[in-house]
Chain A
Amino acid sequence: DQQVKQNSPSLSVQEGRISILNCDYTNSMFDYFLWYKKYPAEGPTFLISISSIKDKNEDGRFTVFLNKSAKHLSLHIVPSQPGDSAVYFCAARMGAGANNLFFGTGTRLTVIP
């Protein structure tokens, strides 16, 4: 059973607007959450992360919000740019080491110029 879920397989947003990508998880033992971005024909690249002791982490146009009571996190991209068009994977970690990393199925973001 999937412990990390991205229920929206795709999202389209106009350039300059906000993109909000959502992720839900089931295991309250997760202590770290990450977002990866994947362009076609490339491997995923790390984008931003957040510890479970925080509720927000910001890096430039990217902000991740964590709502532990709802077991929900979201990635906000403001303003969205055409170069942001990619597949975004949410991942959650339980304990140290990447071998305890659980991934979602990804959301394909298309930013329309």
Chain B
Amino acid sequence: ETGVTQTPRHLVMGMTNKKSLKCEQHLGHNAMYWYKQSAKKPLELMFVYNFKEQTENNSVPSRFSPECPNSSHLFLHLHTLQPEDSALYLCASDRRTGIGELFFGEGSRLTVL
């Protein structure tokens, strides 16, 4: 139990669907992140939120839309995805001023048909 919870754990969607991934952290951290983990690739940073403000968008396609309503919640809205977007999506949080000791959720395994 890391204090970061992601739902759903598994998601299968068609290319025309619209779905959302949810992340909640109970650690009082002020920064939250979305990462993508594809097979045999390094973890890819997608979005960074610091105190609810998006501070980084690593050239992520617009079919991925993040939302951070408060410091404890983070969403990733998905629409018109491609099969190559199938991956494990990890949410993480930290104190922003830390050294990189991220606290990760268990991940949401996404399959796009």
Instruction: Tell me which of A41, A42, A93 contacts B100 (CB under 8 A).
Output: A93
Bound: A49/B101 CA distance, A = 9
* Chain A-chain B contacts (Cβ-Cβ < 8 Å), number: 71
Q: Is the CB of A45 within 8 A of B2?
A: yes
Q: Quick one: given A98-B92, A101-B45, A105-B42, are A43 and B99 in contact (CB under 8 Å)?
A: no
Is B53 close to A, CB under 8 A? no
Q: Is the CB of B104 within 8 A of A44?
A: yes
B41 nearest CB neighbor, chain A only: A105
Interface secondary structure of B, over-half rule: loop
Q: What residues of chain A lie closer than 8 Å to B56, measured between beta carbons?
A: 99
Q: Is the CB of B40 within 8 A of A105?
A: yes
Bound: A99/B45 CA distance, A = 7
Is A113 close to B, CB under 8 A? no
How many residues of chain A are within 8 Å of chain B by beta carbon? 26
Q: What residues of chain A lie closer than 8 Å to B102, measured between beta carbons?
A: 36, 44, 46, 98, 101
A94 nearest CB neighbor, chain B only: B100
Is B55 close to A, CB under 8 A? yes
Instruction: Tell me which of A41, A89, A96, A99 contacts B48 (CB under 8 A).
Output: A99
Is A102 close to B, CB under 8 A? yes
Is B12 close to A, CB under 8 A? no
Is B43 close to A, CB under 8 A? yes
Q: Quick one: given A43-B105, A46-B102, are A97 and B96 in contact (CB under 8 Å)?
A: yes
Q: What residues of chain A lie closer than 8 Å to B2, measured between beta carbons?
A: 43, 45
* Contact string against B for A residues 81-113, beta-carbon threshold 8 Å, 1 for contact and 0 otherwise: 000000001010100111111111100000000
A3 nearest CB neighbor, chain B only: B42
Q: List 10 A-B contacts (CB under 8 A).
A: A32-B99, A41-B106, A97-B97, A98-B48, A98-B98, A98-B101, A101-B45, A101-B100, A104-B42, A105-B41
